[in-house]
A and B are shown apart, each in its own frame.
Chain A
Amino acid sequence: MQETDIKLLANILPNLPENIQSEILSVEEFRGETTLSIRKESIRRVVEFLKNDPSFRFDVMMDLFAMDYMKHVTPQTERFAVVYYLVSLLQTRRLRLKVFLSEEDPSVDSIHDLYKAANWFEREAFDLYGIKFNGHPNLTRILCHSDFEGHPLRKDYPSDKYQRLKNAMPSEGL
């Protein structure tokens, strides 16, 4: 973190312990919203701390989704990002965490056991962006058909591409 980031962080989230602060790569403030960029290896630890620590208590995981920065005008550190949106109902505080993932290895630890909500949201990010969530119990497609090839929301997937369904009706399971 840079000097300005540390100051910003002290304003937004005071009393963040040292071992969590060291996992934050950068702090961004835009239109009154805070985005913390977190080291990929420690996202689980940071989320777990923010959820359980009595002075923070981010009790709801409002949203989880992926981003593809491939064609963004300003170059980003890595191609993919997973965005976590945590909300503390009591303190009405909101926080966005971001983890950048490389094109070669778009994988991050799953947080499905920290928030039950994360299960489907992670499946959606896998389905649409091909992000792998390590430790997820059922990382399968959720919105697209199981025969679908590729990940439709990636920027290199053409928006007018047509795929014919080979096996329209799954017979197993019934």
Chain B
Amino acid sequence: MHTTLTPPESSKYMRLNLGPSHPATHGTLRVFVELEGEIIRDMKLEIGYLHRCFEKMAETHTWNQVIPFTDRLNYVSAMMNNVGYVMAVEKLLGVEPTKRCQRVRVILCELSRIIDHLVCIGANAVDLGALTCFWYFFRERENVYDLFEALCGARLTTSATRVGGMYKEVPEGWFDWVRRVVNNIPRTLDDVDALLTNNRIWIDRTKGVGVISKENALEYGFTGPCLRATGIPYDIRKAMPYYDYDKFAFNVITQSEGDTYARYLVRMGEMRESLKIIHQALDDMPEGSVNIDDWAVVLPPKDQVYNSIEGLMAHFKLIMHGIRPPSGEVYACSEAANGELGFFISSDNQGRPYRVRVRPPCFAIYQAFPEMCIGQTVSDAVATLGSLNIVAGELDR
């Protein structure tokens, strides 16, 4: 923090401070700009306002206690962080979740991707003066949050996964409910499509704004929709499939312009692809348990804890000492709403992680923000920032 702009050689530039608490930043981001008229000539970023020492805290908690912290990374799609983290721990343990658990996680991830994109596009449109789409989208978002609430009791900070499974078995009738919610979403997408995609004002405000080239995007380590908007069809769900993503039929949406409009189109397309995945996962839902059958990893069922000494001991050991993964270092990545969400985990065979490192997709993307904005107006910078979907919780950790 505490960034200073280099002293200007002449005083022809006006210096302006945006944030850290500004309606257009949707989070605690601070931006300094040097303006010539309305044109941005230089830009410096200051981050760290939401730094909550996630990585340090993770080292002092047991493996399962880290999960609630991961909710607070990208709080718009907390489920994906939950899944990404437990995926890394499971890789370290060398266990594979049950098929049912994998399908449920896929459904949760895709629902999260949809609500994340809804918020991103909705907020981006609000920044440019279109409030209607925001309300249309938030109706659907509320419906999805109702689903999450029924599943785990929380809407925003879900903590729904556990190492080796889920917090709970899926409630009865939940899958039908998912189908009802999901069946409603295309209508809203069509409405917003009709409102924005061919809208003269929207196109004028977003086309050619905040452009980044293919080469530059790779240099900066872009992933996710922002990379695919430059024409690179890279999606971890296709490139390194996890949870049977290779068995689902869906397309990787790409655009070639790399501007704000392209990112909007990619996100709109991705939501429809996510719906396809959810339907396929629902159709192919195996029966059985969501938890693996290993009491060294998941808590035994309550009747076993109360009525058998083995169950009681396993419960006690897990609560007091936690899971004890073998020594080693693993990196597990999943395709989160913003791009590659990676968890690097180092273990030295203790009940607590030796080191947890998050690779937040925003961190790499936000770094390129000045380069995308210099030479454009402040209002274009606002449009660009909205389309990058920078979530401060993930950026600062």
Contact = CB atoms under 8 A, between A and B. Distances in A.
B396 interface: yes
B3 interface: yes
B91 A31 contact: yes
A115 B219 contact: yes
A170 interface: yes
Contacts of A120: 363-364, 367
Interface string A76-97: 0000000101000100101010
Given A31-B94, A73-B350, A172-B4, A63 B344 contact: yes
A124 B358 CA distance: 12
Contact of B216 (A35, A92, A116, A140): A116
Given A62-B221, A159-B59, A173 B3 contact: yes
A121 B366 CA distance: 12
B51 A143 contact: yes
A174 B219 contact: no
Interface in B23-61: 32, 44, 47-48, 51, 53, 55-57, 59-60
Interface in A15-64: 30-31, 33, 35, 59-63
Interface string A142-170: 11111100001100010100000000001
A48 to B, nearest CB: 14
B32 A173 contact: yes
Contacts of A140: 2-3
Contact of A67 (B92, B333, B346, B349): B346
Given A33-B331, A63-B342, A159 B56 contact: yes
Interface stretch (B122-130, B135-143, B170-178, B232-240): B232-240
A150 B323 CA distance: 32
Nearest to A147: B2
B391 to A, nearest CB: 15
Contact of A60 (B17, B91, B221): B221
B329 interface: yes
Interface string B53-91: 101110110000000000000000000000000000001
Contacts of A67: 346, 355
Interface centre among A96, A120, A124, A140 (most CB of B within 10 A): A120
B69 to A, nearest CB: 13
A107 interface: no
Contacts of A71: 354
A143 B48 contact: yes
Nearest to B216: A116
Nearest to B236: A92
Contacts of A174: 15, 17, 32
Interface residues of B, number: 54
Task: Give the interface residue-count category, chain A.
Answer: 35 or more
Interface string B1-17: 11111000000000101
Contacts of A119: 367
Contacts of B367: 116-117, 119-120
Contacts of B168: none
Nearest to A98: B329
Nearest to A119: B367
Contacts of A144: 1, 48, 51
A60 B1 contact: no
A173 B51 CA distance: 22
Contact of B327 (A63, A73, A116, A159): A73
A152 B342 contact: no
7 contacts: A60-B221, A63-B359, A65-B357, A116-B368, A142-B48, A143-B1, A145-B1
Closest 9 A/B residue pairs (Cβ): A173-B4, A117-B221, A146-B2, A73-B348, A143-B48, A116-B219, A63-B359, A143-B51, A170-B2
Interface of B: 1-5, 15, 17, 32, 44, 47-48, 51, 53, 55-57, 59-60, 91-92, 94, 216, 218-221, 223, 232, 234, 239-240, 327-331, 333, 340, 342, 344, 346, 348-350, 354-355, 357, 359, 363-364, 367-368, 396-397
Given A89-B218, A89-B232, A173-B44, 11 more contacts: A30-B328, A30-B329, A59-B218, A63-B342, A83-B344, A85-B344, A115-B219, A140-B2, A141-B48, A172-B4, A173-B5
